[in-house]
């Protein structure tokens, strides 16, 4: 017999005996598995110790008309109730002038003082005091137009600036 036929015959025999039917059987397990036992006893959660604070004696912080504590009398009303917007710096007849709007959200007029200073490389090149058209700086609730004449000898329009409180704002009765 030809060796090729032997190989084919051997292959057919292996295929016939090698093919068997396979069956799948489901194995049902209990729905609840036993809970493993703890190896050690868990420690209870730590609870915070109560802290006893002795009453503080002395005066409290003064409050403004809205009930906010006044922590810094110099800047309190500026920090909480005033905002500067629409700041415009321009040159006119050789002078540097500023127009701006200060919005006050306090229910009564506030009087005080604001200064603007211009800096370049931490060097001061000019400054000016804000005032209203009536003179001084009396700010009514809502928007207030303010002005400033900048004392400088250079162009400060592109410099960094800082607005500071020169005299604390106080409400008028």
Per-residue pLDDT band for 173 (boundaries 50, 70, 90) equals confident
Q: What is the pLDDT of residues 157-166, one digit of tens each?
A: 999 999 999 9
* Rounded Cα gap, residues 112 and 130, in angstroms: 10
Q: Is the pTM of this model over 0.75?
A: no
* Rounded Cα gap, residues 81 and 76, in angstroms: 8
pLDDT at residue 21, as a whole number: 66
* Rounded Cα gap, residues 89 and 54, in angstroms: 55
Per-residue pLDDT band for 18 (boundaries 50, 70, 90) equals low
Mean pLDDT computed over every residue of the chain: 86
Taking a C-beta distance cutoff of 8 angstroms, is the pair 105, 141 a contact? yes
Q: Which domains does the chain have, with CATH numbers?
A: 76-168 (2.60.40)
């Amino acid at each position: 017999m030809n060796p090729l036929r032997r190989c084919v015959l051997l292959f057919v025999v292996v295929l016939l005996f090698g093919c068997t039917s396979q069956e799948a059987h489901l194995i049902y397990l209990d729905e609840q598995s036993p809970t493993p036992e703890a190896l050690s006893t868990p420690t209870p959660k730590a609870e915070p110790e109560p802290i006893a604070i002795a009453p503080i004696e002395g005066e409290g912080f003064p409050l403004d008309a809205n009930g906010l504590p006044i922590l810094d009398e110099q800047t309190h009303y500026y920090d909480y109730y005033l905002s500067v917007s629409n700041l415009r710096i321009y040159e006119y007849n050789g002078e540097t002038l500023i127009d701006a709007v200060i919005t006050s959200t306090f229910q009564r007029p506030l009087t005080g003082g604001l200064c603007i200073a211009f800096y370049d490389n931490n060097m001061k090149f000019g400054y000016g005091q804000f005032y209203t058209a009536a003179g001084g700086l009396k700010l009514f609730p809502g928007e207030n137009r303010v002005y400033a004449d900048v004392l400088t000898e250079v162009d400060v329009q592109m410099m960094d600036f800082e607005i500071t409180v020169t005299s604390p704002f106080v409400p008028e009765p």
